[in-house]
Amino acid sequence: MSLLVKGGTIVTASDQYRGDVFVEGERITTIGTSLDLPADRVVDASGKYVLPGGIDVHTHLDMPFGGTTSADDFESGTIAAAHGGTTTVVDFAIQYKGQTLHHAWETWMKKAEGKAAIDYGFHMIVTELTDQVELEMDDLVRQGVTSFKLFMAYPGVFMLDDASIFRALLRTGKNGGTICMHAENGGVIDVLVKKALAEGKTAPKYHALTRPARAEAEATHRAIALAEIAGVPIYIVHLSAAEALEMVTEARDRGLPAYAETCPQYLFLSYDNYEEPGFAGAKYVMSPPLRPKETQDRLWRGLAFNDLQAISTDHCPFCMKEQKTLGEGDFSKIPNGAPGIETRMSLVFDGGVRGGRISLNRFVELTATSPAKIFGLFPRKGTIAPGSDADIVVFDPEKKTTLSVKTLHMKVDYNPYEGREVVGAADTVISRGRVIVDGGRFVGQAGAGAFLRRAART
Ligand SMILES: [Zn+2]
């Protein structure tokens, strides 16, 4: 099967030029101007951008949390991702206490198998660090699960103490893995939550008011300091607070390999959303929480100046009906998370590129190239180049869409951006040489996505 993407403007993290892309089987083989090669199918990209498929390195599909499970499984979630122009996700497998990392990996492989419509990899969430687990980390790195997420929040559930965190960091210095950190001071937050509930403060907004920006900044600083002592890189997930960004910026200015991602919700929503009437604030209950509106400009600046290196979604949808309502009368019982896997590319293009905050090249870098490099997928993924996987998005920079739960494909009963108009959308999406979205319609196949063995740091 061969495919010719013709007449578009090819955009990578570094280049922008008119050209045609020829695909044979699963890979890009030739790029040139006016390629005249016979192809089984020709995709007309004139007037459109030809981008590397989006890479979302932070999703939670089919994830148990707080007595319920995130609403999208690997089928609905990856189909929604494809609609939005994302062709690779890196999800999280969870080690529960008393279980091995391999058990967790197998469990999540089964969740994805036969369901994922796009390629996927896994980070491993480590909740208990024994000698045996350290050995398992080495093996997982060899198997292509090359990153480990640790929590400084959720005491008693996910949280690791500093000694365990430090041991895990040291281990990655030996095995080439990367530590991803959920950086919030969980002990402090737990005290604030108990205090608020005792005072009868139960509404959704207290979720945000009990998770102060300084608790995120403190943990971010501590995580980076521990990584510095261990002499290894660190990646901070879902950075939301300006105070936490300052910690990353300060570390990077000293030359430390500190990396961080932020998410569209922190760029387009704010604390004000928690003040929506009744229980509506529950739509935005996620950790870390939405921050004051002024934070948005600071995060955009961080993205523009490379203090932040990636935009992922932390897609973790829960329906308002029967899921978010578990926390009616007690904000601490609202499942944490929101949908976003489908809307990332359009939101960031519209607000970032059209909004004049980042360049088109930087848009590609933040949504595909840089996460691919950090997480061992480059150059197989994350760029348009001969030899790379033919994960290609033909992106229409003029297409207007009104974001709405009625038209989006995520399996959740609300959308945090309901009614927002964005300009720029994926038109045709190609995953390893197969057209999976054609003129906005999904024509791919559940189960066609492959598990990605990622490379270790070298
Ligand atoms: Zn997450």
CA 241 to ligand 1 centroid distance, Å:
16
For residue 392, how far is its CA from the centre of ligand 1 (angstroms)? 26
Taking each helix axis from N to C end, the angle separating 131-143 and 162-175, rounded to the nearest 10 degrees, works out to: 40
Rounded to the nearest angstrom, the distance between the alpha carbon of 12 and the centre of ligand 1 is 27
Ranges of the chain whose pLDDT falls below 50: none
Distance 46 CA to ligand 1 centre (A): 37
Say how many Å lie between the CA of residue 285 and the centre of ligand 1. 13
pLDDT digits (tens, 9 = 90+) for 342-381: 999 999 999 999 999 999 999 999 999 999 999 999 999 9
The rounded Å distance from CA 423 to ligand 1 centre is 27
21 Cα to the center of ligand 1, angstroms: 35
CA–centroid distance, residue 250 to ligand 1 (Å): 24
Ligand 1 centroid–CA 161 distance in Å is 19
If you measure from the C-alpha of residue 114 to the centroid of ligand 1, how many angstroms do you get, rounded to a whole number?
23
372 contacts: CB under 8 Å, gap ≥ 6:
55, 88, 378, 379, 380, 381, 382, 383
* pTM confidence score: 0.98
pLDDT of residue 67: 87
Q: Report CA(91)–ligand 1 centroid distance (Å).
A: 9
Q: pLDDT averaged over the chain?
A: 98
Residue 206 alpha carbon to ligand 1 centre in Å: 20
Q: How many Å lie between the centroid of ligand 1 and the Cα of residue 314?
A: 5
Distance between Cα 433 and ligand 1 center (Å): 30
Q: What's the CA gap between 69 and 147, in Å, rounded?
A: 23
147 CA from centroid of ligand 1 (Å): 14
Give 69 Cα–ligand 1 centroid separation in angstroms.
14
